[in-house]
Structure 1
Amino acid sequence: MTASVFIGTSVDGFIARPDGGLDWLPAGGGEPHGYDDFMASIDALVIGRNTFEIVLAFDPWPYGDKRVVVLSSKALDLSVVKGGNVEQMGGSPEEIVALLTASGAQHLYIDGGITIQRFLRAGLIDRLIVTRVPVLIGEGVPLFGSLAADVRLDHVATRAYPSGLVQSEYRILHDA
Structure 2
Amino acid sequence: MTTFHAFLGCSLDGFIAGPAGELDWLTVFENTGYDAFFESVDAMAMGRSSYDTMRDMAPDYYRGMPIHVLSATLPAGVQPNMGDSAVTVHPDIPSLRAALTKAGVKRAYADGGRTVQSLLAAGLLSDITVTRVPVLIGSGIPLFGLLPNPVQAELVASITTSQGAVQSVYRLPTES
Could you tell me how far apart the structure 2 residues matched to 1:59 and 1:169 are?
26
Shift of 1:60: 5.1
Counterpart of 1:147 in structure 2 is: 147
Structure 1 stretches of 5 or more lacking a match? none
Shift of 1:56: 1.6
Q: Name the SS for the 1:57 alignment partner.
A: helix
Could you tell me how far apart the structure 2 residues matched to 1:100 and 1:47 are?
13
Shift of 1:155: 0.6
Question: Do structure 1's residue 11 and structure 2's residue 21 form an aligned pair?
Answer: no
Aligned residues: 172
Does the CA contact (< 8 Å) of 1:12 and 1:136 recur in 2? yes
Structure 2 stretches of 5 or more lacking a match? none
Question: Do structure 1's residue 52 and structure 2's residue 51 form an aligned pair?
Answer: yes
Shift of 1:71: 1.4
Could you tell me how far apart the structure 2 residues matched to 1:71 and 1:131 are?
24
Shift of 1:59: 3.6
Could you tell me how far apart the structure 2 residues matched to 1:101 and 1:56 are?
25
Q: Percent identity?
A: 40
Shift of 1:94: 3.3
Could you tell me how far apart the structure 2 residues matched to 1:171 and 1:79 are?
34
Deviations 1:32-57 (A, max 9, x none): 51100111110111011111111122
Could you tell me how far apart the structure 2 residues matched to 1:79 and 1:46 are?
16
Deviations 1:70-116 (A, max 9, x none): 1112336943723222221112x233223211210000111111111
Counterpart of 2:117 in structure 1 is: 117
Does the CA contact (< 8 Å) of 1:17 and 1:140 recur in 2? yes
Q: Name the SS for the 1:25 alignment partner.
A: helix
Could you tell me how far apart the structure 2 residues matched to 1:79 and 1:95 are?
19
TM-score, structure 2 as length reference: 0.90
Q: Name the SS for the 1:94 alignment partner.
A: helix
Does the CA contact (< 8 Å) of 1:12 and 1:137 recur in 2? yes
Does the CA contact (< 8 Å) of 1:94 and 1:122 recur in 2? no
Counterpart of 2:72 in structure 1 is: 73
Counterpart of 1:87 in structure 2 is: 88
TM-score, structure 1 as length reference: 0.90
Could you tell me how far apart the structure 2 residues matched to 1:110 and 1:38 are?
12
Q: Name the SS for the 1:156 alignment partner.
A: strand
Counterpart of 1:168 in structure 2 is: 168
AA of the residue aligned to 2:23: L
AA of the residue aligned to 1:135: V
AA of the residue aligned to 1:86: V
Could you tell me how far apart the structure 2 residues matched to 1:162 and 1:131 are?
13
Post-superposition, which runs of at least 4 consecutive aligned residues in structure 1 deviate over 4 A?
A: none
Shift of 1:140: 0.3
